[in-house]
Structures are given as structure tokens and as C-alpha cells.
Structure 1
Amino acid sequence: MRLLIATDAWAPQVNGVVRSLEHMAAAGRDLGFDPVFLTHQDFRSVPLPGYPEIRLAYATRRKVAESWAGLAPTYVHIATEGSVGYATRRYCLAQGRPFTTSYHTRFPEYLAARAPVPEAWSYAWLRRFHGASSGTMVSTPSLERDLAGRGFTNLMRWTRGVDTELFRPQDSDALAGLPRPLFLFVGRLAVEKNVAAFLSLDLPGTKVVVGDGPDRARLQALAPEARFLGTQTGAALARIYAAADAFVFPSLTDTFGIVLLEALACGLPVAAYPVTGPLDVIAGTGAGVLDRDLRAAALGALAIPRERCRAEALRYTWAESARQFYANIAAAHARGPVPRGPVPRGPVPRHAVRAPERREIELG
């Protein structure tokens, strides 16, 4: 059974979307699927101004049809809402073909951080985009509740995993010579990641930043005493996690945060705000501290036993993530295409939304 995955996020980008899709492709054949990709590499594209690793594809429905003819997919999954995803969606609708989507990124918040675009406008567009799918995959319970409250339908759960053989506790001198404690951030250096909140904290020891992006120069000027190590991957990244004392995750907009699992797998306790992602991965586990005071969370995380963090990470596997992903695709496609009709224009009434579960937040 051939699965076509249409995505605007692909190499050379280094992010959670690309990592997740790579793992799904690797696991697909063992589950009876033959995954193939439709990406910006299949179209003419240009680099995004100020962010050259992201390519903007000139994707059209006609070009999608040409690619489709050679691939003959049984199933279709649209991973992103960019030009490749949108053109694939249009083709599926024109052909009456069911498809699934996934909600990886809070674009309304990201866009509002860069331009005066009301979040309500962006959510209305996203609600229409995903409303045509037979199932929209979300990574966490809190994200599911949030989107349901905004009128999104056909939501399906798809968790994430971590390679616990690569990311593991180990003796590491990757950060040798730096004053301790070592507070680490790993991720894209862009305004939506809120890295400045981490760098502005009054903390002892050393702040270490791994990653790159359009905000790097500004952040280095903001915190010249911090160590910026650029993009790191694989074993080199695992050694950095293992050498640090606490992982600080300042984002307020991530839908999950695979780096949380990588840090935990290396025995590194997490400090974060009590928001979607950290609430689902960290709250109530004892593997980190969630607090609206990020400094208090970072200092509190230093006291957490590393073995507790490792034990929590072992609950997440890419095998289980893949099982959920492919089961969702089979179930959604079995339901057939969504009937064409009006898409809800706004949030559903609050009384129609399931109340959030009570989650105990460790406040340090």
C-alpha cells in the first residue's frame, strides 16, 4: 500500500517535522506501507528570504497531478500547510480522494510574532484547510483540546518518539571547561522559539545554545557570554545533552517539542513554561519543573535525579509513534472523503468542548 506524504518541510531543514516524517518512512515497510514523498525538491523553488534552508516551492495542482501519475498512491497524507501541501489538497478534492493531515506548527502565533496579522484570521484559514481532511493528527491531548475549542474536527492522536540508543546517559566532555551549572537550549533560533527569554535569565554557570536560524546574530548580541555551538546532530548532539545539567525550553508555541524527549533520554531534566508540549510531556512526571518563572524552573531542575528523566523517556518510542500514524491513516481513509460543505467559521461553543483534564504541574 503506497502512501504519498506531501510536505513543505524537508531536508536541508532540521526540525521536528522532518525528523518525525523520516522515522515514519523508516517504519512504514514493516507495517505494510510503502511511503513516498512529494516535497519542494519535486518543484521549482526559491529560498525563503532571511531563512534560506526553507524552500518555497512553486507547487501547482497540475504539477501534483504529473507526480501523482507516476506514484499511484493508495493513501495520501498532507504533513504541512505550505504550497506543496495546499496543491496536493486541491488535487485530492478535485479527484474526490480522501486524505489525512497533521498539525505540527502554530502558524497563527508564529505569524503574529512577525507581522500584524490577527491570530483569528490565520486559525480560520487553517480550520478550512484541515476541515477537508478525513483526519487531522495532533501530538498531544492539550493541543487536541485547544484545536477542538477552535472548531477543528476529525482530530486524531499521533504521539512522538525518541531514539533511546542514540540519546542516552554517558560520560561526556563535550562542554568541558565551561563554568557549571550548564543550562542548555536546543532548537531553531527564531523569534517564535522565545530563546531571548532563556538568555535573559539571571543564572549561575553557563548558558549553551545549540541551533541556528535567522535570529542568531540578535541573540548573540543579547547574550555575548553565552556559548553558541551552531547546529549539531546525531552523536555530537547526544554528547552535548549528556554533558549539560539542565535543559531549558522557553517556547510558548511548540505543539510538542521532540527535543524534550531527547534531553530526557540523555538523563537531562527539563525546565519549561506550563504550556502545550511541556504540559503533556513533563507535568506530573518528576522529570522536570514547569513554572511561569522560568528562572525558578531552571534552578529547580538541577535537583532532579537523572535516572528519573531517563525512565520517563523510555515511555516514548518511534515504533509506537509509527503504529499510531499508520493506524490513523488506514482508519481515516476507510471513512472516505469528507462531504463538501461549509466549514465552521469560528470556535465551537465552550459547553461543547470537553473540559481539560486536571494535570498536576510541578512548580519547583
Structure 2
Amino acid sequence: TGANYDLNYSPQRTFVAGPQTFLFNPGWTSGLALTLTQPLLRNFGTDINKTFIKVAQNNAKVEEHVFLDRVLTVIATVEQTFWELVFANENLKVAQAALKAADELLASNRAKAKAGVMAIVDVLQAEAAVASRVEQVLIAEKAIHDQEDQLRRLLNPSEEELRQDVRLVPLDQPVKTLEPISLPEAIDVAMERRPEILQAGKNIETSEINSKFAKNQLLPNLSFQGTSGLAGLGRDASDMFTKGASGDYYNYGAGLVLSMPLGNRSAISQFNKRQIESRNAQVTLQSIRQQVIVGVREAVRRVQTDFKRIETTRSARLMAEKQLQAERERLNVGLSTTRFVLDFQRDLATAQGSELRAIVDYNKSLSNLARNKGTTLERYHIELQ
């Protein structure tokens, strides 16, 4: 309620030298006083006097939400980097398969040229293609090492561990099936789980508490004050304590104390400031909620689009395989050239890379959707202590 209790005990010994007419010299006096001050307007009430406690508790919650937001961002970044490492490893397999196909074509062309049924220019074209495929393999291998370093750095290793040349082999396979997604449900979950919304909600609560406190400070300072005490006087300490505890010498009093600053400009300014802060906090929450809705909608569209990309790129890859097979058969019967076969080999490698990119992007989109919904921890069964 804002009441203030003050208990004061003041023993004292006095001695006056020379002629004197005191009853006791030396004399011992004591005073025991209990004073109660209870605000009646300003600073009255349990809620008002718990203002700073509630604000501190809200600030602690805000810091928890800030920490959670950082954790979700780190996990999402690690996951995105992991899928890029998966892509780099699979892309190397595509490059190696293209190199193998070019090597087989080169061997076949050399045999035919040696038998005199194929021109040397076809051999040269195949050799150039092999050299180009070797370059693609080297680039793919470098990409793997780059992604491994990026992922290793995110895992916060020691400097000694970072110096070591340790390979990181992804074990999880990318998801290729469409997960059921409900846009309204995803938005509702995001509204309940996103740390930014929870943080903004706590900021509004804090601003309202501060506004309520500032409004209370506009009131006059009217307090009830009551005091009661005991006094003791004796020739020594024992005598003083005995008379003081007897209760024969007591005093008491009560009254009202009123004070009001002229103009009260400081309290008025503080109240206006808190009102503005409260409105700003509400506007901030509204803006964040809008951003979350837009972000979730975009994340859902991205998941749906990337899954459709998997289907279309798979069809393109199957067609590229059939076209390459048909062109090889035409080459075997002399109806095609090495250049056309190499072109179809390149088209197949491109189609395989596009399909792989679509699959990885789909898995990254699922990760992004979980981040936008604020469910990344539940997705991987992670608990923060």
C-alpha cells in the first residue's frame, strides 16, 4: 500500500560538570519511537508500489524473447548452410557423372577414329568436353570445401579444431514430399510463437504500467502520519531501561501531511512522455504483426513454389535423359555428330543440377517457414533451459 514504518531507539548518556541542579548527573535517557506514514493519494496502492518490480520482470522476459530470437536465427542459418553443403556434395556427383559420360564418348570416338569410321575432329571435340567436365568437377570440389568451412564456423569450434582438415559428411537426406500447409493456421501459430510479437507485447505491458504510475504521480502528496513512543530516564543504564519499559512515560500523535508542487510540470511532462511511449509501443506491435503475416505468406508461397519446381525439373531431367539416349543411338548409326551428343550431355547435367537445386531450395523453404512460424525448436525437439 506504500506505507512506511520507522522504528527508532536512541539511548543517550549526559554529564554536566560543575554546579548543577539536575535530578541525575550523570543521567541516562532513552527514546523508543514507532512512526507510520501512509500515502493516501500519490504512491497509494499495491500496484503502484510494485511498478518497478513489474517493469523489471517484464524486462527480464523481453531479454528472454531477444535471446530466443537469436537462437532461432542461428539454428535457421545453420540449417540453410547444411542444405547448401548437401547441394554441393550432390552437385559434385552430377559433375562426376558428366565427366564419366564425356570420357566414355571420348573412348568410343577414339576407337572409331582409329578404325577410320569417324573424323579426328569428333575426337577433338570429345577431348575438349572432357577438359571442360574436369573443370566443373574441380569447381564442385572447391564448393564442398567452402560450404564445409562455412558450416564448421557456425558450429563455433575452437581455433585448433578450425585449423584441422576434417570432412563434414551430411547424413540427413532432403525431403522430396509435400508437407500439408494451412496458411491461416501458420499465421495463427506465428502470432502465438514469434519472439518479436511476444517482445512487443511485453513492451506494451511495460508502457501501460509506466503510464499508470505516471498518472498517479499527478496526484497531490497526501499522507497520514502517526507516531507513538516510550521514554525512559535514570541514574544508570539499568534504571533507564526499567523506567522506559514500564510504559509510564509515553507519547503519541497523528496528523495529515499535504504537499503539492506548484505547476507540477515535471509530473505532467513525465505522464505525457509515458502516454507517447504507450502509443508507440502499440504501433510497433501492429507493424510487427503485419510483417509477420507478410513473412509467413511469402514463406508458404515459397514452399509451394519450390515443390512445384521439383516436379517440373524432374520432368525436364527425364526428358533430357531420353533425348541423350536417342541422340547416342543416332550417333551409333551415323545419323548424328559428337557435337550434338555433347550438347545433350550438357543439357542433362544442367537439368540434374536444376532438379537438385529445386530439392535443396524446397528443404530450405521448409526451414524458412519454421523460422517464420517460430517453431524451429519444436521442429528439432530442442529445449532451452
Assess same fold via TM > 0.5: no
The TM-score normalised by the length of structure 2 is 0.18
Find the structure with the greater CA-based Rg: 2
The TM-score normalised by the length of structure 1 is 0.19
Q: Which has the higher helix share?
A: 2
Higher relative contact order at CA 8 Å, sep ≥6: structure 1 or structure 2?
2
